[in-house]
Structure 1
Amino acid sequence: MINSGLRISLLDRSRTRAGEAEPAALHGTVARAGQAERLGYDRFWVAEHHAVPGIAGSAPAVLLAAVAGATRTIRIGSAGVMLPHHQPLVVAEQFATLSAFAPGRVDLGLGRSPGFTAPVRRALRQTDRDFAADLRELRGYFDGTSEVGLHPRPDGPVPLYVLATGTGLRIAAELGLPVIVGGPLLGVGGDPAPGLEALAGYRRAFRPSPQQPQPWVAISLDVLVADTAAEAADLLLPEAWAMARSRTTGVFPPLEPVAAMRTATRTARQQQYLEQTMAAAVAGTPAQVEHMLAELFDRTGAAELVAAGSTFDRAALAASDAALAALFDRP
């Protein structure tokens, strides 16, 4: 069992599936949140993507309202809202409203990723923004220090989190905010040294804040569990193939069945990207995944796992979620 003091959460991007109407992805997200609550997960996150064919999750605050209505105890949050796409006051009002319906359960994770393509960036009216200044402004609405009042006033705090890259880690340290890190910073399937140095820099530079007196790190990556390592590798294929397609064709497609993945024709470059995506995930039997996660927690000093895995087969994904939850010793 993994230490009971560590948190476990799910990140669901509302992935669409071939042959399925796109709204089904949103209903699947809400259903998965209910299962996560029953399984004892600490938190359930959703994300923001715009005009991506393979993702239906474009409006985190709206989707979280549905999640809030389908759950009672699990914390819910965004991982994240892309702040350059929004005015900070509007984000604060959305999450204050959400908190009114789920008091004490709402977390606001914030990132700064650009739109998926140039036309999307134009549609979002995206311009160069000062992410640190926007974070400060947003925090001012919640803590009551802004000259503009926030209504409704939340009954309790709405904690802020930063989805961090190298620059994001520096900004989070300056503002005294917790971070969620993933991808290359974790060094899974590659060299962990740069990520470890970046995390050490965040901890050294951290300035305590009323929300966060000490540095705090969550790690986010694809995690899938199955009875055998081969079955777990199969579960990874649909997402890995979608990533390979997006990096070679510019189109991020819906998830397809594993059987189609096995017979798909791939270029050498697509095969390379597919293997890279699979190497950066944690997948295997319960014992294998437990060992890999324990090593990651030990190496990064993280306090929470944000498991972001997805696959075409919803029943297989539900079984993976249950197997992952069973690895964490709940008090």
Structure 2
Amino acid sequence: MRISLLDRSRTRAGRSEQAALADSIERAVTAEQLGHHRFWVAEHHTVPGIASGAPAVLLAAIGQRTERIRLGSGGVMLPNHRPLVVAEQFLMLEALTPGRIDLGLGRSLGFTAPVREALGRTEASTEDFAAEVGQVRDLLEGTAPLTARPVTAEPPPMHLLATGAGLGIAARLGLGVVLGGPVLHADDVGERIAAYRREFRPHRGSAPHVMVSMDLLVADTDAEARELALPEVWAMVRSRETGAFPPLEDPARIRAQELSSRERDRVEKGLESAWAGSPASLRPRVERVLEATGADELLAAGATFDRAALADTDARVMQLLG
């Protein structure tokens, strides 16, 4: 079981957004030292708690600080971009860091109407999205009417974030998939993955590949892991109250606040459902999901306020399934 990391460049109270990007780069360097297979970054536009809206730029910086670990996007939201621009960016990354680049593509638009208006794109239909994914692949492989540059020896492998019809599109185009969020917890997830594998049409020798993404946080005890999960849970609670996704806060500061009964309820429910715990309690939960999905790879996506604790949990994730 390969284990990889997804980093969202989360901001932290009292630290600048520039520091959050430096934190992402340092985390990638450590991930390589720990033996993680991939290090992926995300795309979020004008979200106060997330510093990175340009995955390709951040990956270029990470590529200059690492030597072996695969680098990619989880993902580039294709409806926000033209296929040619995406292909050019990732061919450039492939040329700069040969043999180490992955292109993960998603379908989500900006969270709010002003963001969507600023991006100038509207939601694409399933078929339009599939067609644009195909265009990106043709451009990467040099089979499109236009030649995207730089031309590279091999095109970066592509993966789809499997939301909605993503599994069917990936099977039809011969691409790997990433499962997370509601799709991962659907009652029929096993059947949907089986259909993906059954309907998979190989392309240039590709084979089905399933990555499962979980916000994993591992500590000595369940109580310690819950404290690690609290900053992200609290940010989600606050976003529901205010409409803005805030930076991660120190758990001690969160505990010292006067919470409403509704906020306390939501925090407790969030902590109960979090993928946070000791190795003994977390391992069976993770193994059940991996077995149900037949996953080929685990993509750990946890975040917390304490950067040293996050580095520790990244190391523990590598040992979780051993």
Shorter-chain TM-score tier? over 0.9
* Residue matched to 2:68: 73
Instruction: Measure how far apart 1:273 and its partner are.
Output: 4.1
Distance of 1:275 and 1:297 partners within structure 2: 26
Contact 1:183 1:280 in 2 (8 A): no
* Residue matched to 1:54: 49
Distance of 2:205 and 2:62 partners within structure 1: 25
Query: What are the equivalent positions in structure 2 for 1:213-292 lying under 5 Å apart?
Result: 213=207, 215-292=208-285
What stretches of structure 1 move > 4 A for 4+ residues in a row?
Answer: none
Contact 1:244 1:271 in 2 (8 A): no
Q: Secondary structure at the match of 2:149?
A: coil
Distance of 2:191 and 2:265 partners within structure 1: 27
- AA aligned to 1:257 is D
Match of 2:81 among 74, 86, 99: 86
Count of residue pairs brought into register by the alignment: 319
Match of 1:23 among 18, 21, 27: 18
Structure 2: 5+ residue stretches without partners: none
Distance of 1:66 and 1:307 partners within structure 2: 21
**TM-score, normalising length: structure 1:** 0.92
- AA aligned to 2:218 is V
**Can you list the C-alpha shifts for 1:280-314, whole angstroms capped at 9, x where unaligned?**
43211122222222222111100111101000000
Distance of 2:204 and 2:14 partners within structure 1: 48
Query: What are the equivalent positions in structure 2 for 1:1-331 lying under 5 Å apart?
Result: 6-129=1-124, 130-187=128-185, 192-210=186-204, 212-213=206-207, 215-329=208-322
- Call closer, same or farther: CA 1:328–1:74 in 2, change over 3 Å: farther
Contact 2:141 2:154 in 1 (8 A): no
- Call closer, same or farther: CA 1:178–1:268 in 2, change over 3 Å: farther
Instruction: Measure how far apart 1:162 and its partner are.
Output: 0.2
* Residue matched to 1:3: none
- AA aligned to 1:108 is L
Structure 1: 5+ residue stretches without partners: 1-5
Instruction: Measure how far apart 1:237 and its partner are.
Output: 0.5
- AA aligned to 2:27 is R
Distance of 1:211 and 1:28 partners within structure 2: 37
**What percentage of aligned pairs have identical amino acids?**
55
Q: Secondary structure at the match of 1:11?
A: strand
Contact 1:89 1:141 in 2 (8 A): yes
Distance of 1:247 and 1:210 partners within structure 2: 45
Distance of 1:303 and 1:272 partners within structure 2: 36
Distance of 1:275 and 1:180 partners within structure 2: 28
Distance of 2:221 and 2:51 partners within structure 1: 31
**TM-score, normalising length: structure 2:** 0.94
| RMSD of aligned Cα (Å) | 1.6
Q: Secondary structure at the match of 1:243?
A: helix
Q: Secondary structure at the match of 1:193?
A: coil
Distance of 1:261 and 1:295 partners within structure 2: 32
**Can you list the C-alpha shifts for 1:110-140, whole angstroms capped at 9, x where unaligned?**
0011101111111111223321011010000
Distance of 1:272 and 1:90 partners within structure 2: 45
Of 261-270 and 198-207, the range deviating more from structure 2: 261-270
- Call closer, same or farther: CA 1:248–1:204 in 2, change over 3 Å: farther
Contact 1:177 1:211 in 2 (8 A): no
Contact 2:189 2:292 in 1 (8 A): no
